[in-house]
Amino acid sequence: MKSRKRILSLAVGIVGVSTALADTQLPEIRISGSGEKPKGSLTIEASGLPAAVTVIGREEIERTNVGRDYTDLLRRVPGINAYSFGQGDIGSPIKMRGFTGTGAHGGDVAIYIDGVPQNFPSANQGGPGMSDLSWLTPDMIERIEVIKGPFSALYGDQNRAGAINIVTRNSGESSIGASVGSYGSARGTLVHSAEHSSVRSFVVADLYRTDGYRDNSDGVRGSVFAKASMTVGDAVWALRGNYYKSDWNAPGYLRYTELVSGAVKPNDRDPYAPKLWGDTERYGLVLTRTPSKGEEGLHATAYAEHYDKRRANPVTGNVNALNVQNDDRAVAGARALYNIVFTDRAALAFGGEVRADRGTGVNQRWPTSAGPGNTYSNNWDLDLLTYGLFVQGQYRVLDSLKLVGGLRVDAFDYSIENRKRPAASLDYNKSVKTPRAGVVWTPVKTLDFFANVGEGFRSPAERELSPPGGVGPLGAAGGSPFPDLKPPKVKAYDFGFNAALGSQWKVSAAKYHSLNQGEIRETTPGSGVYANLGDTTRDGWEIDLHFFATDALSFYASYGKVKGRVNNPTTVEQNLISGLPEDTYRLGAEYATQLAGGRLFVNADAFHISGAPYYSGVSPAPLFSRPYTRYDLRLSFEQGRWRYTGFGTFQPRDYASEQAGATVDPRPKADVGVAVAYKF
């Protein structure tokens, strides 16, 4: 196996020749939810994509009710379900357009922060494509861009349902704040922004703790984010570092039938397992270069980080034993993108990226909660190198008609040492091509129609390429690798429109179809033999409506419907995609007014999902999880340098959980708190 020095030398060698995805895209057609544009306005710009890009700006971030997970910021976006489970810092559960991801951990959505990919394609915990954004707090974020569907060639691995691009802040108002809430939760945050000669600095320090609603759900996390930027000639250079540490306990999941019968209470922990726990340490550096004016020119970034995470899981049928998973990784990489604007009718973006992911993925059996034994579910030494080249262009044929096309080529150079079953070790070398195309027609200034076709992919995971087999010692006999597996691909279509109706109404709608081709599955359950044999389809539509009643009051509503099917299920006739809600409703309001020499802001949101199927045993008849409803309320009053906030999340249903299945993670019916912040 190659040494960790390879990653460090790679990071040094590619500084300045990669792209910062924050600000790298050609301007998009945007319908912004940020509140930064005049009410009712629809801004149509020269675009790299013929689709609506939802932009969550700084103003909306500051006014949204956010708990312990930044994914609460995405709850207003149609087509996205951003769940929050109470199992500690296990990952970022973002699900988009009918893709349910891997459990609650965020697969199938490509996520970038300042140009750095956040997905772990071969995560030992959470499955392929897991993303863990627990280190990120709302104070660090300038804006969030959401692209639904695999229609941008700028995004690579895991871009099957869509992509999320997060841009961090360079500066802001300095402040110190504190909050307290239900179940022993408390947070302290310090934001400091300054300018020293030509260097701008921005620092966020955050500490959070909670006792948790359920037994054994306490935790503590701390993070520090520091960024320095300066303008040199025609470029803005920025260097940021972040450090994150967390320790938590996890209550596990409860059986729904036992909750209904009263055998367990909603705030109990799993009675069939010892106390569960986990911890994470993560730190890294990111260097970026962007043009000082406009989008044309070179955008570049290079990064290196360390990620170490452990999580204890229960062992089925054993109330004493644990499976302790550990990902210990060093990651480094870079991107380079160059934007060229030829005329007012044509533009081109092209570039490349490389990423090295080096470390271990281990799942060790602990016979008791006191310590480890000598058997493993898996133990890999991983050396994963990926490359990507991409191009995306646009041409305005007429003033009202624009064509867009793009292409990615991604290659994988993997070396996987299977310490548990050495015979399954392998070197893996494959590549994948994913084209995109689209058109946008703008018959009048306030209306555009769009249509897209595109492909996305995910890389094969370590457990598929080099299966670990059952629980056993290191160096066990048997096992076979599968070096011929191809990256599963999605081919997706959508069409829709965006419109501003007068000065008060804004509406958008889209219909989509996705075919997930060549998904990797075991040929028969439990066989340990993997092949590209699974196909699934998702058909859905979504509509989003905004009404600006006055300068102070606005409303929004959205509805999404999706049906997903497994075309060739492993278990006969179980052909619905488990855990996929068929119907999603959103409704909300914003209000702002002058009051007592200050300013009052009110945000109210309602969220409802229903129709999520799941199966029990081999029965072909699906079961359906209970509907889930959530209400959020946030009131902020700003007066001078002070800001006072009250917030709450309310869930009226017994045993409420966003998780679909026979087991659930009950959430409290009310979770409230207050906060105060002082700007200096």
3-state secondary structure 305-329: EEEEEEEEEEECCEEEEEEEEEEEE
Residue 25 has pLDDT above 60, yes or no: no
Share of the chain above pLDDT 90, in %: 71
pTM: 0.90
Q: At CA 300, angle to CA 298 and CA 301, rounded to 5?
A: 175
Compute how many other C-beta atoms are within 10 angstroms of the C-beta atom of residue 241: 14
Please indicate whether residue 14 or residue 310 has the higher confidence score (pLDDT). 310
Q: Is residue 310 part of a domain?
A: yes
Residue 237, pLDDT score: 96
Of 9-13, 193-197, 465-469, 552-556, the one with minimum mean pLDDT is: 9-13
**Whole-number Cα distances in Å, 344 to 12, 45, 234, 273, 614:** 38, 11, 22, 64, 52
Residue 101, pLDDT score: 56
- Rounded-to-integer distance, Cα 215 and Cα 211, Å: 9
The parent domain of residue 166 ranges over: 5-485
Q: Is residue 311 part of a domain?
A: yes
Please indicate whether residue 41 or residue 399 has the higher confidence score (pLDDT). 399
Span 497-553, pLDDT tens digits? 999 999 999 999 999 999 999 999 888 878 889 999 889 999 999 999 999 999 999
Residue 39, pLDDT score: 32
pLDDT average, residue stretch 586-609: 94
Q: Is residue 26 part of a domain?
A: yes
Q: What is the largest CA-CA distance in the chain?
A: 76
Of 76-90, 154-168, 520-534, 560-574, the one with minimum mean pLDDT is: 76-90
Residue 19 has pLDDT above 50, yes or no: no
Q: Is residue 645 part of a domain?
A: no
pLDDT average, residue stretch 30-43: 31
Residue 294, pLDDT score: 82
Within 13 Å, how many C-alpha atoms sit on residue 81's CB side? 34
Please indicate whether residue 97 or residue 43 has the higher confidence score (pLDDT). 97
Mean pLDDT of the chain: 88
* 241 φ, ψ (degrees, to nearest 5): -130, 155
Q: Is residue 492 part of a domain?
A: no
CATH of the domain at 132: 2.40.170.20
Residue 49, pLDDT score: 56
Give just the sign of the alpha carbon dihedral 309, 314, 319, 324. negative
Residues whose CB falls within 8 Å of the CB of residue 378, separated by 6 or more in sequence, listed in order? 124, 361, 362, 363, 420, 463, 468
With cut-offs at 50, 70 and 90, classify the pLDDT of residue 50: low
With cut-offs at 50, 70 and 90, classify the pLDDT of residue 41: very low
Span 361-374, pLDDT tens digits? 999 999 998 899 99
Span 59-111, pLDDT tens digits? 888 888 776 667 788 888 888 887 777 788 887 778 899 987 545 466 789 99
Q: Is residue 667 part of a domain?
A: no
Of 121-135, 442-456, 459-473, 584-598, the one with minimum mean pLDDT is: 121-135
Of 7-21, 165-179, 497-511, 610-624, the one with minimum mean pLDDT is: 7-21
Residue 68, pLDDT score: 65
* 106 φ, ψ (degrees, to nearest 5): 90, 20
Record the tokens describing residue 87, joined without a space. Answer: 């199992």
Residue 369, pLDDT score: 87
- Rounded-to-integer distance, Cα 550 and Cα 565, Å: 44
Residues whose CB falls within 8 Å of the CB of residue 427, separated by 6 or more in sequence, listed in order? 414, 415, 416, 483
Q: What is the DSSP string of 453-513?
A: EEEEE-PPPHHHHS---SSB-TT-S-----TTPPPPEEEEEEEEEEEEETTTEEEEEEEEE
* 626 φ, ψ (degrees, to nearest 5): -65, 150
Residue 284 has pLDDT above 50, yes or no: yes
Question: How many domains is the chain built from?
Answer: 1
Span 287-333, pLDDT tens digits? 999 999 888 899 999 999 999 999 999 999 899 999 999 999 999 99
Residue 106, pLDDT score: 65
pLDDT average, residue stretch 467-476: 94
Residue 51, pLDDT score: 59
